[in-house]
């Protein structure tokens, strides 16, 4: 008779425990939509398309007629400038676009969708360049622009550095050519140097940062025999499904927990759950914890925020390291972006925290595509001595391609040279000072723009509520500053920017902001706030949805 009661009690305890674990997981999510991947995907699916036309484009924030007229005149002036200055570049890009899906995507998502088509048709900057030199790139019309794109972070030391590593690397392996399978002997130096730099035992080579992350997670799951990976809210780790559980991935990532960063509750989840194989950290998030990488296509108001607090982030990483060690969770530093940029030894050196696995990519290829995993020997092993059929497979045709190994070889050789070592001296102080200089100039001119910086990685923030901040990217381009398709969301400087180069950036930046201010785009009145802007957009969305 007692048995059913006992069973019931056990079941109730079990359910209660599960419920408690579920609850603490929910509490460890960041309250924003970014922190709730499934919800974000559902909400994204509900967003209807609508757009502004000639009649509504210039006063979508209810600006008075005289302001709208100033905007219209400024826009016409820019249109004329773009039409003449970028004629060839824009025409050739337009020819290319119908057959190049990537270009269609980036062109469409430079600005909020409501404005996108109108702007694309009238301000086509083009996406073709044919030369680089120093800190500049040259388009098909011969225009030189100062490059603030950093080639997605690949360009750490300046384009001429990579031209050199590419040429020398190609020369080194010319006799071998594209032989795959056996390795060119230059790989040995790469392995040795990467072991030293990472402070870890072994290395594996892959073809992109995304693949390196895939392999790091797979190894963690294989060795821990646990299922789930933890990533932090907003952090980018490439486009593989498991690390991109929210918008952008058509299916849910069922074995991913997205937790709040810099959060005690998240640490509690790590300290109690038994299914967590690894934690992925993208050190770049220190600039904007719990927020996605800023892109102007999401710049619907002026609420973009960023602030780098090195001490706070270091303290967080130390606590994370401690809980991962205690719980046997693999701590992965994803240094695909931060590696070699913050310090020669990457974020591990910069924050003084040792990870179990580290991924590198981007610049490490010396100008060619690459992904690298470094790790402790016990974690890197892909088979079990006592279970020969239980392997962790990770082989790709182009892993350790001789040309990539050779350019990486040149990269690592030059990294150890005194000239490159000199670039890291006072790096943060230099770039903090430069950011302060620019901010001071903007402030003195009464312009509603400030930059936030983490060493050479910057983002532009806007201090006056506005729906039109994304227009700034077009004024910056008109002043000869090249931005990537995410616009003012991320500016990436290479370490070879000299004082004169930077002074020019300041002059152009301030001139662009002044022109945008003069053209009335930053108009607002007492009633305008980020909240009123968002409410207005919500109204528009609902009106178009229903």
Ligand X SMILES: Cc1ncc(COP(=O)(O)O)c(C=O)c1O
> Which CB, 361 or 448, lies closer to ligand X?
361
Q: Which is nearer to ligand X, 336 or 513 (CB)?
A: 336
Per-position x/- string for 353-372, each x denoting binding to ligand X as judged by CB under 6 A, each - no binding: --------x-----------
Of these, 68, 194, 213, 270, which contacts ligand X (CB under 6 A)? 213
| DSSP string of 465-517, one letter each residue | --S-GGGHHHHHHHTTEE--TTGGG-EE--TT--HHHHHHHHHHHHHHHHHHH
**Which residue lies nearer to ligand X by CB, 347 or 412?**
347
Select the residue interacting with ligand X from 58, 236, 462, 493 (CB under 6 A): 236
Total residues in contact with ligand X, by rule CB under 6 A: 13
Structure tokens at 69: 């007229």
Strands 276-281 and 228-232, by their bridges, are: parallel
How far is 274 from 22, CA to CA, in rounded Å? Answer: 13
Kindly tell me which of 60 and 210 has the beta carbon lying closer to ligand X.
210
Distances (CA, A) of 199 to 1, 45, 206, 349: 62, 44, 19, 10
Long-range CB contacts for residues 499-508, cutoff 8 Å, separation at least 24: 501/134, 501/135, 501/146, 502/434, 504/146, 505/146, 505/148, 505/438, 505/481, 506/437, 506/438, 506/441, 508/146, 508/476, 508/479, 508/480, 508/481
Q: In the set 58, 161, 333, 337, which binds ligand X (CB under 6 A)?
A: 337
- Tell me the helices (H) and strands (E) count for the chain, helix number first: 19, 16
210 part of the interface to ligand X, by CB under 6 A:
yes
484 binds ligand X per the rule CB under 6 A = no
Q: Please list every residue from 103 through 132 that binds ligand X, using CB under 6 A.
A: none
CB of 115 to ligand X, least distance (A): 26
Nearer to ligand X, 280 or 329 (CB): 280
Contacting ligand X within 66-85 (CB under 6 A): none
| Calculated CA dihedral for residues 341, 343, 346, 352, nearest 10 degrees | -150
Q: 179 is written with which tokens?
A: 């032989």
Q: Which range in 21-29, 330-338, 343-351, 489-497 contacts ligand X by CB under 6 A? A: 330-338
Least distance in angstroms from the C-beta of 57 to ligand X: 32
Question: Is there binding between residue 346 and ligand X (CB under 6 A)?
Answer: no
> Whose CA is closest to 375, among 390, 392, 389?
392
Matching residue, tokens 């050190």:
283
Q: CB 390: neighbour CB atoms within 10 A? A: 9
Residues 141-180 interacting with ligand X (rule: CB under 6 A)? 152
Binding residue for ligand X, selected from 336, 404, 449, 481, defined by CB under 6 A: 336
Burial 318-336 (b: 16+ CB within 10 A, else e): ebbbebbeeeebbbbbbbb
80 is written with which tokens?
Answer: 């004329």
295 binds ligand X (CB under 6 A): no
Q: Which stretch binds ligand X (CB under 6 A): 115-123, 331-339, 413-421, 441-449?
A: 331-339
Which of 60, 256, 258, 282 binds ligand X (CB under 6 A)? It is: 282
Query: Is residue 334 within the footprint of ligand X (CB under 6 A)?
Result: yes
Query: Smaller CB distance to ligand X: residue 58 or 236?
Result: 236
Within 165-292, strands assigned E span: 202-206, 228-232, 256-259, 276-281
Query: H or E stretch including 331?
Result: strand 330-334
| Minimum distance from residue 372 beta carbon to ligand X (Å) | 11
Instruction: Work out which of 172, 223, 228, 237 binds ligand X, going by CB under 6 A.
Output: 237
Closest approach of Cβ 308 to ligand X, in Å? 16
Closest CA to 69 of 77, 78, 58: 58
Closer to ligand X by Cβ: residue 60 or 295: 295
Q: Helices in 187-297 by DSSP H: which ranges? A: 187-198, 209-224, 264-272
**Min separation Cβ 283 and ligand X, Å:** 8
Residue 208 interacting with ligand X (CB under 6 A): yes
Q: Contact between 408 and ligand X (CB under 6 A)? A: no
Closer to ligand X by CB, 232 or 468: give it: 232
Q: Is residue 373 within 8 Å of 203, Cβ to Cβ?
A: yes
Applying CB under 6 A, the residues found at the interface with ligand X are 152, 208-210, 213, 236-238, 282, 334, 336-337, 361
């Amino acid at each position: 008779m007692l048995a059913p009661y006992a069973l019931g009690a056990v079941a109730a305890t079990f359910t209660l425990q599960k419920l408690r674990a579920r609850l603490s997981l929910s509490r460890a999510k960041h309250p924003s939509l970014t922190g709730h991947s499934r919800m974000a995907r559902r909400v994204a699916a509900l967003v209807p398309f609508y757009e502004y036309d000639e009649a509504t484009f210039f006063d979508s924030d209810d600006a008075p007629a005289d302001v709208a007229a100033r905007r219209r005149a400024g826009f016409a002036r820019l249109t004329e400038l773009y039409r003449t200055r970028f004629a060839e570049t824009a025409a050739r890009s337009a020819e290319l676009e119908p057959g190049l899906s990537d270009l269609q995507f980036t062109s469409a998502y430079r600005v909020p969708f409501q404005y996108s088509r109108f702007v694309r048709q009238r301000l086509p900057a083009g996406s073709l360049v044919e030369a680089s030199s120093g800190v500049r790139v040259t388009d098909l019309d011969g225009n030189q622009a100062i490059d603030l794109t950093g080639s997605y972070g690949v360009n750490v030391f300046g384009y001429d550095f990579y031209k050199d590593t590419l040429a020398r690397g190609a020369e080194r392996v010319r006799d071998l050519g594209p032989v795959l399978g056996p390795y060119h002997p230059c790989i040995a130096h790469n392995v040795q140097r990467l072991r030293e730099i990472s402070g870890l035992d072994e290395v594996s080579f892959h073809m992109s940062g995304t693949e390196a992350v895939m392999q790091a997670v797979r190894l963690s799951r294989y060795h821990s025999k646990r299922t789930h990976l933890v990533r932090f809210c907003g952090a980018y780790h490439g486009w593989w499904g498991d690390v991109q559980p929210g918008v952008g991935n058509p299916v849910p990532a069922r074995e991913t927990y997205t937790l709040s960063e810099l959060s005690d509750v998240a640490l509690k989840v790590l300290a109690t759950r038994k299914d967590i194989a690894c934690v992925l950290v993208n050190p770049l998030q220190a600039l904007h914890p719990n927020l996605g990488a800023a892109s102007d296509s999401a710049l619907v108001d002026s609420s973009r925020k960023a602030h780098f607090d090195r001490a706070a982030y270091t303290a967080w990483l130390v606590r994370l390291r401690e809980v991962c060690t205690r719980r046997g969770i693999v701590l992965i530093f994803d240094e695909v972006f931060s590696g070699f940029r913050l310090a020669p030894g990457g974020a591990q050196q910069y924050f003084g925290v040792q990870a179990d696995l580290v991924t590198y990519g981007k610049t490490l290829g010396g100008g060619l595509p690459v992904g690298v995993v470094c790790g402790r020997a016990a974690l890197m092993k892909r088979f079990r001595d006592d279970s020969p059929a239980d392997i962790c497979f990770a082989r790709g045709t182009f892993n350790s391609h001789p040309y990539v190994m050779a350019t990486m070889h040149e990269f690592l050789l030059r990294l150890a040279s005194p000239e490159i070592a000199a670039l890291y001296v006072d790096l943060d102080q230099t770039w903090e000072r430069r950011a302060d200089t620019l901010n001071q100039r903007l402030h003195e001119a009464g312009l509603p723009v400030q930059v936030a910086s983490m060493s050479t990685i910057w983002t532009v923030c806007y201090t006056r509520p506005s729906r039109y901040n994304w227009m700034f990217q077009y004024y910056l381009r008109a002043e000869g500053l090249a931005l990537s398709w995410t616009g003012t969301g991320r500016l990436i400087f290479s370490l070879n920017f000299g004082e004169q180069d930077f002074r020019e950036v300041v002059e152009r930046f301030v001139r662009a902001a002044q022109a945008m201010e003069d053209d009335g785009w930053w108009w607002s009145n007492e009633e305008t706030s980020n909240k009123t802007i968002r409410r207005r957009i919500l109204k528009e969305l609902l009106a178009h949805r229903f």
